[in-house]
Each structure stands twice: as structure tokens, then as C-alpha cells.
Amino acid sequence: MVNPLGTGPLPANSQSNLGSAISKNTTVTTNPFLDGIRLPEDAKTPEPKGQELTQADFFALLSQQLSMQDPFKPVGNDQMIAQMASFSTVDGIAKLNAEIVTLNSVMTSSQALQASGLVGQKVLIPSATTHVSAEDPNVNAVVTTPQPIKDIMVRVEDQKGQLITTFAVDGSAGGNVDFGWDGKNSKGELVAAGNYVFKASGKLDGKSQALPVSSYAHVTSVSLGNATTGAILNLKGIGGVKLGDVLAVAENK
């Protein structure tokens, strides 16, 4: 091979090196100065490391700090102990968080297992919506009064807001007053299966006021849920409610 500088053929070893360099798409010459200033090959980008500091990282930093400190102003024992205590505290909190997550998972599973005993029973929920089924048209509910009321008027409406029937409930005992509905309209006919809404009112201090109503619903199944919601009770025709929202449990008759 001819020397690019025109001074004769290249030595055999130089020809081999030059061929290897050319095969890598790298321009080389026999001039050491020119070879020294040519652009380097692209460096590979290192893989990103995790952003979390481990105990090994802490001791590496601590060792570096000790090696670089001023021998005339060494780090005091109290400061060293404080640094180690701070790291131990942070490490302990991280482990505690992991344990709490595991504990929440276990408690959620345990809660769902206990709630499975409610399947087939009726629970009282803070909702005025009730479900009437063809198999069991009778439904029960509770109206809450702040003081005794002789007559509490209850309206039953369908989901469109149309009036189905009205009836009176004795609220002279005050507090939580139980009442039932046989699933019949004002004509004495059984209503179609579906959801209906109770609306109760009574006179308080001479003025008619709306009263809160809670209704019983049939539990068909239990869902596991998560640490935030807990176990979820699936109610027939109503949907899911949190176990913590249940006000009372009644035997399904």
C-alpha cells in the first residue's frame, strides 16, 4: 500500500493496522499528530441507576467524607452518630412502610373473609333506594326523627320520580322508626320488579320537614376491594357498598 504522504510504501504492520481502522470507518494516517487529534468514537451511554440510596451508598459516602476531611478539623463523634442515626431512621421508615402495605393486604383479605358471612342476609344502608324483586316484594326501611312525630308520611316513587303510593308511619317513639312496604301501589297491585325510592316527611315545630330514610338490601356477594375501600358488599339491584357504610344487619326472612 502506498504511503499517503508519498514517501514510499507502508510497512506490513502499518498496512494491517490501517486496514483494521478503515474497516471500522475510522480515518487514520501515519502522522502521530493527526492521529492524536481525530475525533474519538461515540461513547456508550451508561445504563441509568436507581435513584434510591442504599446502606452501601451511605457507607461509601461516609468513607469518602472521612478520607477527605481536614485532619485538623475532624468530624465530631456527635455529628457522626447523628448522621448514622438519621440514615438508620430513614431506612427503618422505608421498611416500616413496606410492612404496613403487607399488613393492609392481609387485613383486607381477612375483612373480606369475615364479610362473606353476610351473604344471604339483609343489611341496612344509608340510602332511601330499595329494590323490589318478584320473589320477595316486601321491603323494610328505617326513618330517623330528631323528636317524636305522631304521623310520618312516606311516599314511594319509581326511578322516574312518579308517585307509586303513600302511607303513614307512627313516629311517636322518635329516633329510628322501622317501617315496611308490601310492594303494592295505591290500587293494591304488585309493582314491577325494580328500584324504588322512599321519601319521608313530618312536622317539626309546626313545619313539614324531610326526614332521612335508610333501607334494607339483600347481600348477594362480597368483593375483596383494597386497603382504601375495604370489603365491598354487592347488594341485589343496588350495587356495591363499603362494609364500613353498613348501619345494621338483619336476618333474611
Query: Mean pLDDT of successive 10-residue segments in the chain (253 residues)?
Result: 48 47 50 58 58 66 68 61 68 73 65 75 92 90 92 93 94 91 93 95 89 93 74 89 87 62
The residue whose grid cell reads 457522626 is 80
115 close to 206: Cβ distance less than 8 angstroms: no
The residue whose grid cell reads 319521608 is 200
Q: Give residue 21's pLDDT.
A: 44
The three cell numbers of residue 114 are 369475615
CATH 3.40.50.620 holds for 119-250: no
Q: Give residue 103's pLDDT.
A: 66
* Ramachandran angles phi, psi of 174, nearest 5°: 70, 175
